[in-house]
């Protein structure tokens, strides 16, 4: 991304660079998204694009590219521990060119690596949010009964308190209902 950004600012001097990929390494979200006046956007391509023209559905209803920002979180420190509250997520709508600020209703699930090492994201906390009765959908998908008390602990926009990380970093990963994901690393 840095090399592409260098090339984009030379010559004509573009003001926006869109980097497309089916997936991005975790460090991509940590890199600077502005180089001078150049804004760099990472666009996640829908895996359906790799199927080829014959198999790709031409409905216009699906998002083939998704660009969205970092999760909107609030970090608090109750009793010397850390606690994360997810407030929402900004999503860029490529069909209108507008940025929509979405609430937690549009987030399917979110995860916290409470001791992120900079290389691998390890899910240490998992939470589910969203409207439209996700509890019932999950229960149907698993074809099993889910303990309601346990579900209530997982169906939350506020994490359980946890000890400060030895690494000095936590990472928050958010997945929306389309399967698009974003991860942000926070130094604490």
- C-alpha 166/C-alpha 115 separation (Å) is 6
Report yes or no: 164 and 188 within 8 Å, Cβ to Cβ.
yes
User: The pTM is what?
Assistant: 0.65
Residues paired with residue 109 on neighbouring β-strands, in sequence order: 128, 175
> Would residue 183 count as lying in a domain?
yes
Does 178 reside within a domain?
Answer: yes
State residue 137's pLDDT score.
67
pLDDT of residue 14: 83
**Whole-number pLDDT of residue 172:** 93
110 found inside a domain: yes
Q: Residue 54 has what pLDDT?
A: 55
User: How far, in Å, CA of 44 to CA of 102, rounded?
Assistant: 18
Q: Does residue 177 lie in a domain region? A: yes
In a domain, 65, yes or no: no
Mean pLDDT per 10-residue section of the chain, whose length is 188 residues = 81 79 67 71 71 55 58 91 90 66 80 92 89 65 75 85 96 82 86
Instruction: Output the pLDDT for position 91.
Output: 66
In a domain, 31, yes or no: no
The verdict on residue 171 lying in a domain is: yes
Backbone dihedral region for residue 118 (phi beyond 0: left; psi -120 to 50: alpha; all else: beta): left
Residues spanned by the domain of 125: 70-187
Residue 34 within any structural domain of the chain:
no
Specify the number of domains making up the chain. 1
């Amino acid at each position: 991304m840095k090399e592409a950004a260098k090339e984009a600012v030379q010559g004509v001097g573009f003001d926006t660079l869109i980097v497309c990929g089916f997936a991005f390494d975790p460090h991509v979200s940590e890199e600077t998204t502005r180089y001078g006046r150049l804004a760099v956007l990472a666009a996640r391509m829908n895996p359906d694009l790799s199927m080829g023209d014959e198999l790709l559905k031409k409905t216009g209803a699906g998002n083939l590219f998704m660009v969205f920002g970092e999760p909107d979180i609030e970090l608090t420190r109750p009793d010397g521990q850390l606690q994360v509250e997810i407030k929402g997520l900004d999503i860029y709508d490529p069909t209108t060119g507008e940025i929509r600020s979405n609430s937690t209703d549009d987030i399917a699930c979110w995860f916290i690596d409470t001791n992120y090492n900079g290389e691998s994201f390890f899910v240490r906390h998992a939470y589910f949010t969203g409207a439209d009765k996700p509890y019932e959908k999950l229960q149907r998908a698993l074809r099993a009964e889910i303990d309601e008390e346990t579900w209530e602990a997982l169906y939350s926009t506020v994490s359980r308190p946890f000890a400060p990380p030895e690494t000095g970093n936590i990472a928050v990963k958010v997945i929306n209902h389309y399967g698009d994901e974003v991860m942000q690393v926070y130094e604490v």
